[in-house]
Structure 1
Amino acid sequence: MPLEYFIFGVITFLFTGAQCEVSEVFAEVGSQAVLPCKSSPLYAFTPSIIWSKANKGTVWRKQRSGLQYWGASWSPKVTQRVKCPHSQFEKGDFSLQINNVKEEDGGVYSCRVGQGDQGVEKMVMLRITEVSVSSSVPIWGDDVTISCNMSPWPQGASVHWTLNNSPFVPRTVIASNRVTTKNVVREKATAKLTGNWTCVVNYDGKEGRASAALTVKGIIQPSQENTKVYAVVGSAVTLPCVFSSGFIPSNPVWEKLKPGFLFKPTPGRLPASFSPSIPFTQLSFDQSASLKEVGLDDEGRYRCSGTIEGQRLTRNMQLVVAKIHSSIPSENTGSVTLTCQLTDTSEVTDYEWVHVVYDFNGTRSVGSIQKGKTLSISTVTEENQGEWACNFYGKDGILGNVTYHIQLMSRLRGQKSSGVSHNTAAMVGLSFLLLVLLLILAQMYKNHQRRKRIFQFPALETIVHTVSNEREQRERNQEKK
């Protein structure tokens, strides 16, 4: 039996002439603990008050004269961690406050309040809870040990953990020994361990809890190995590779891995449209890359790596490419089938087709919704025109979508009246253009013939002009006379 329990029993046995009550108090390391000691306010004068700890002597006492004393290890000359508020004495409250509690503060305390031979004895078991982490900032992949301690540890207590206020079931739970059953959790450092760890100890209908923060440094995006990134053929996509803030990797490298090598993948050639978001020579914790125009051949596994504090960190991810395949339309019925195709469907649980229509003002509206990987359209009419989007879902929600415009399928089987009107307009336009060209050619021909007739007799034309000039000269001479 622990020493605290033995002393606890002895004190209970010795104070047979006083009223004795026992209570349990839980406190976290660094917090304030309040040890209760209350009685009926029936004293005519201020009673004497003695607070002591088992096997440690006096903690604090106050005589009837008003003088106060502190134990050697609780002296206010060092740091005043212990006080008993006088303002509550008239209400019969003689509780003791311990600030910034430490692990060694755990144990059995007694409070004796009385006048002369009459008094009240209160006993309090103070249990200090603490969560400790082997390394508060481990590097990704390191072994992390998280311990839950309580001093003194109650026999028969149960423990459970929460991470960021959500229940956490450790893969490895270790009991340090059968007597104390202090729980120790051991995990590999990953992003999912980042956050606030809380140990909750349940004992005798009460609970004590303590928390500690844990931050894992390394590649934080993507947070999981072999994360899938979805992209559409012809679109741009970003492959994330973000290191923890303040950790700038050295020798960052991007590689595309050849298929068929799961355990020891071999690097292949990066796509032509591949480019890092920033130059590799620039110091940054964001080493993401992008593909400007995704093709079907770009699908596959990619690996980002960098060195932090001498440790090489890597993250593999998979690019999944999506497209819509349209079947050859039937000449008789005009029906066409759209199929939502992905290079990897292992995470896909459901497909959904959504008809999106835009009016003249550009307002977007959603029409019919259909389930399934394929969509069959019996005929291409105005109701079916517009944009069709295939949304594909996983267990945690939508993974991505790919769209197809029905205008690309026009002329498959449009309305006949519309086709005739378009053909008629085209024929009228061509006929008018030909008529104009014929008129121009006719006019050019006439001008050519006229010039040809004039230049057929050049000598005759010269004589006519000469006779005309002589006639004009004779007329001028007669007028002068």
Structure 2
Amino acid sequence: MFEFLVFGLISLSMTEGHHEVQEVFAESNSKVVLPCVCNTSSRVIIWRKDNQGTVWRQEKSGMQFWGSRWLQNGDRRVRCPYSRFERGDCSLHISNIREDDGGVFECRFISGGQSMTRSVMLRVIKVSVSSAAPVAGIEFSVHCGVTPEPVGASVQWRLNNSTFVSPSGENLKTAQWTIEETASVTLTGEWTCVVAHQGFEGRASASLTVKGIIHPPRDDARVYAAVGCAATLPCVFSPGSIPSKPSWRKLHPGSSTKPGRLPSSFSFSSPASKPAWDQSARVEDVGLEDEGRYTCAGVVGGQSLSRRMQLVIAKIDRGVSWMKMVTLTCQLTDTSEVMRYEWVHVTYDPSGTRLVKSIQEGKTLYMGKVNVEDVGEWVCRFHGKEGLLGNVTHRIAPQNGHLTGSTSSLYNTSFVLSLSVLLVLLVLILVQLYKKHQRRKKIFQFSALETILHVKVNERDKREESQVKK
């Protein structure tokens, strides 16, 4: 990787013999620019290194010359762009940096008959590993070298852009130029050494590939499978690492060494479509009895490698209460990684499009009485700290091959009919009561009339008797 590492320009004294030295870090095999601020009228410019000879120079006539060690296969490793002189930039550009390029460079130019000098310390950083591709379990080292080596510099190690923390838990020293570790696939990646000295900083990197089992990346990883489905037990070695004597075994419950019996549908022969470093196994028809710990193993580079994993079985228990209320409960043989459960209902429209509807969260789903809208797939998804772990499905098929209406709709229809009958009966009763009331009201009216007539007749009889007596 080539990149320019230029760390600012500092103001220097303009008198001969009195100047400061600034530092520039560069990674080995990269490109670097050594800064030099010169006078815009300068025509004579000379770059030298450690008083060992000329690196590059330009005469007043414009002629340019290169030192012999800066020519590589006919290509000039250094250049000083003429187009920048008018801006007072006489910086030296160096490509394909080598470790022995480190040291003090001097930029000398003549302005107004006066000679002036700028000094730059170039420190070359290189990261090297004792083995670019060690086998897991083998000791290896990563070294950070700086030429010339700075006194009192601080060093920080990074792995894949994150601060490196030793798997052993030991804290790294402030200036630990060499890291020694036991190889594991978790240490694969880009190792970067960051060096800081007197306010300047530089870095260099090297790649490390550890040969071993990359998937699962660690022991005791969980593999989730549903009852009745197929399960894949992963055992993938690093690309190009073809293991000899590959093997699988199931551990007896409660034992870390005693072998158990592999499932009857277990197979791990690699098909032609898989690369030789993929020794994953498969269980075609998973049952509850297949849960437990499995170990895959192989020999790479004379080193025995193995990975242990646990097969977790999931199923859904269906329960029906005395009120015919249906419950679905998500059951797993190991729930140590599960943080939450989610239930979704999966159906398909007439065109075959899959429709997913989230219902609720929780280990148990309370459905009530099953109706036609409940036909389809009920999926329990279980999630862990890093996301979805797996899922298990329970299917509800139409009753008697098909359903033309909802059971709840039938119940609703019966309820409406019953309510209608009751309303009719109530109306009839009210009508009868009303009629009875009216009859009684008429009776009261006629009784009053009869009384009045009776009084009138009595009064008339009394008058007639009075007239006869006279």
Q: TM-score, normalised by structure 1?
A: 0.73
Q: Pairwise mapping of residues 126-141 of structure 1 onto structure 2 (< 5 A)?
A: 126-141=122-137
Distance 2:188 2:72 in 1: 39
Amino acid at match of 1:296: L
Once the 2 structures are TM-superposed, how far is the Cα of residue 392 of structure 1 from its aligned partner?
0.2
Where structure 2 has 5 or more consecutive residues not aligned to the other structure, the ranges are 1-11, 412-470
User: What corresponds to 1:25 in structure 2?
Assistant: 24
Q: Is the 8 A contact 1:18 1:119 kept in 2?
A: no
Distance 1:235 1:123 in 2: 73
Say whether residues 1:51 and 2:47 are aligned partners: yes
Q: Pairwise mapping of residues 424-463 of structure 1 onto structure 2 (< 5 A)?
A: none
User: What corresponds to 1:353 in structure 2?
Assistant: 343
Secondary structure of the 2:190 match is strand
Equivalent residue pairs, number: 394
Change (3 A) 1:283 1:81: closer
Say whether residues 1:309 and 2:304 are aligned partners: no
Q: 2:223 aligns with which of 229, 232, 235?
A: 229
Q: Is the 8 A contact 1:18 1:118 kept in 2?
A: no
Q: Is the 8 A contact 1:57 1:71 kept in 2?
A: yes
User: What corresponds to 2:443 in structure 1?
Assistant: none
User: What corresponds to 1:100 in structure 2?
Assistant: 96
Q: TM-score, normalised by structure 2?
A: 0.74
Amino acid at match of 1:197: W
User: What corresponds to 2:281 in structure 1?
Assistant: 289
Q: Deviations over 1:346-369 (max 9, x none)?
A: 111111111223334333323342
User: What corresponds to 1:112 in structure 2?
Assistant: 108
Secondary structure of the 1:112 match is strand
Distance 1:268 1:401 in 2: 27
Q: Is the 8 A contact 2:375 2:398 kept in 1?
A: no
Distance 2:388 2:73 in 1: 64
Q: Is the 8 A contact 2:41 2:86 kept in 1?
A: no
User: What corresponds to 2:292 in structure 1?
Assistant: 300
User: What corresponds to 1:252 in structure 2?
Assistant: 246
Q: 2:186 aligns with which of 183, 187, 192?
A: 192
Say whether residues 1:326 and 2:355 are aligned partners: no
Change (3 A) 1:237 1:408: farther
Distance 1:86 1:124 in 2: 20
User: What corresponds to 1:81 in structure 2?
Assistant: 77
Once the 2 structures are TM-superposed, how far is the Cα of residue 55 of structure 1 from its aligned partner?
5.9
Q: Is the 8 A contact 2:237 2:278 kept in 1?
A: yes
Secondary structure of the 2:374 match is coil
Distance 1:76 1:305 in 2: 50
Distance 1:148 1:173 in 2: 17
Identity rate, percent:
53
Once the 2 structures are TM-superposed, how far is the Cα of residue 292 of structure 1 from its aligned partner?
0.9
Single out whichever of 227-236 and 355-364 deviates more from structure 2. 355-364
Amino acid at match of 1:147: H
Amino acid at match of 1:23: Q
Q: Is the 8 A contact 1:29 1:130 kept in 2?
A: yes
Q: Deviations over 1:88-116 (max 9, x none)?
A: 44443322222211222222222111158
User: What corresponds to 2:377 in structure 1?
Assistant: 387
Distance 1:40 1:352 in 2: 73
Distance 2:325 2:71 in 1: 92
Amino acid at match of 1:285: W
Distance 2:172 2:26 in 1: 24
Q: Deviations over 1:143-187 (max 9, x none)?
A: 232223333344554443443344443445655xx8xx2433333
Distance 1:367 1:76 in 2: 68
Once the 2 structures are TM-superposed, how far is the Cα of residue 194 of structure 1 from its aligned partner?
2.0
Say whether residues 1:148 and 2:144 are aligned partners: yes
Single out whichever of 76-85 and 356-365 deviates more from structure 2. 76-85
User: What corresponds to 1:267 in structure 2?
Assistant: 259
Distance 1:193 1:324 in 2: 40
Secondary structure of the 2:124 match is strand
Once the 2 structures are TM-superposed, how far is the Cα of residue 35 of structure 1 from its aligned partner?
1.0
Once the 2 structures are TM-superposed, how far is the Cα of residue 243 of structure 1 from its aligned partner?
2.0
Q: Deviations over 1:26-76 (max 9, x none)?
A: 211001222112212124xx32x3322336454344444566555565466
User: What corresponds to 1:400 in structure 2?
Assistant: 390
Single out whichever of 49-58 and 299-308 deviates more from structure 2. 49-58
Secondary structure of the 1:104 match is helix
Change (3 A) 1:158 1:370: farther
Secondary structure of the 1:135 match is coil
Where structure 1 has 5 or more consecutive residues not aligned to the other structure, the ranges are 1-11, 419-481
Amino acid at match of 1:345: T
The RMSD of aligned alpha carbons is: 3.3
Once the 2 structures are TM-superposed, how far is the Cα of residue 195 of structure 1 from its aligned partner?
2.1
User: What corresponds to 1:433 in structure 2?
Assistant: none
Distance 1:359 1:67 in 2: 82
Once the 2 structures are TM-superposed, how far is the Cα of residue 192 of structure 1 from its aligned partner?
2.3
Change (3 A) 1:296 1:156: same
